[in-house]
Homo-oligomer: A and B are copies of this chain.
Amino acid sequence: MSEPGSFRAYLEAARVAVDGELDRLLPAAGEPPARLHEAMRYGLFVGGKRLRPALCLLAGELYGGDREQLLPGAAALEMIHTFSLIHDDLPALDDDDLRRGRPTVHRRYDEATALLVGDGLLTLALTTLVSEPPAMAAERRLRATRVVGRAVGTAGMIGGQMADLEAERSWPKAARAALESIHRHKTGALIVASVRIGGIYAGAGEEADRLLTTLAERLGLMFQIRDDILDVEGSDETLGKTAGKDARAHKLTYPALLGVDESRQLLGRIADEAGELAAGLPGDGGVVGSLIRFVATRDR
């Protein structure tokens, strides 16, 4: 249902390619331990937009990278995103029953399996970044793995998850700066890494890396603000996950801090900044402009 040249069309095509790559990289469902490998596939293939892999492919292709060369790294990013969702959904953390419209891994299987599925996906992702594609220069693979590894670690996504837990405990002491810091780490770091490794795989230089980083930081922040707004305004059915959880958990969110209207205005201003930055990219900017609108207006 998407216009050619739109980001939605790009995303749909990317999803098919990324799902094929994930299928190639994952151990077969029947390979022992079969329950673990089956649960890994369940967690990965219950849906999902494949936004992070698409951002990696888009950035890489803008700088002349070849899709086949970009795909293993793009798939690894989705493994990492899925690992973080599966661990975050566990009873010890967010205790969520529903994800992408279906039972979470620990509900469908059990907690022990969900824990090991997450560990396994994280390990497979980093091993894939190191090993694939074999024909790419070792230095480039090392750099991509390092960028992703730091984005995932305690100075990135995992640290953001912890800061989020601590803010729940101490809110409303935490203010706007804390909120931005949490999101920059929890959601932003992996989105920035997704965009950056596209450029790295394509052999783009330092200046391109800085531009992609700055632009991706805006995208990550927009993504999170939109996510917070959707939690207020969406339903379980459109979201495929439990709506209204943030407010019930007294989570520190943009709507909680600024109200929905002001959150929308902030989102608009950041989208404008992103649009200005995108003008510096190679190509005519059609898909990137569409991407910015997509992130600002998506309904799931």
Chain A residues in contact with chain B, CB under 8 A?
Answer: 27, 32-33, 35-37, 40, 83, 87, 90, 92-93, 110-116, 118-120, 122-124, 126-127, 130-131, 138-139, 141-142, 145-146, 149-150, 152-155, 158-159, 161-163, 165-166
Contact = CB atoms under 8 A, between A and B. Distances in A.
Most B CB atoms within 10 A — which of A83, A111, A122? Answer: A122
B124 A153 contact: yes
A33 B181 CA distance: 11
Contacts of A146: 127, 130-131
Top 9 A-B pairs, shortest CB-CB distance:
A127-B149, A92-B111, A33-B162, A138-B138, A36-B162, A123-B153, A126-B126, A120-B154, A92-B112
9 contacts: A87-B116, A90-B115, A92-B112, A122-B123, A123-B152, A126-B145, A127-B150, A141-B142, A142-B142
A49 B19 CA distance: 43
A154 B124 CA distance: 8
A178 to B, nearest CB: 10
Contacts of A116: 87, 158, 161-162
Contacts of A153: 120, 123-124, 127
Given A35-B162, A159-B33, A166-B33, A154 B115 contact: no
B119 A93 contact: no
Complex copy number for this chain? 2
Contact of A36 (B113, B124, B152, B159): B159
Given A33-B166, A36-B158, A93-B112, 7 more contacts: A33-B162, A37-B154, A90-B92, A116-B161, A119-B119, A126-B145, A141-B142
Nearest to A83: B119
A186 to B, nearest CB: 11
A206 to B, nearest CB: 18
A39 B126 CA distance: 23
A5 B160 CA distance: 47
A32 B163 contact: yes
Contacts of A142: 130-131, 138, 141-142
A166 B111 CA distance: 13
A33 B154 contact: yes
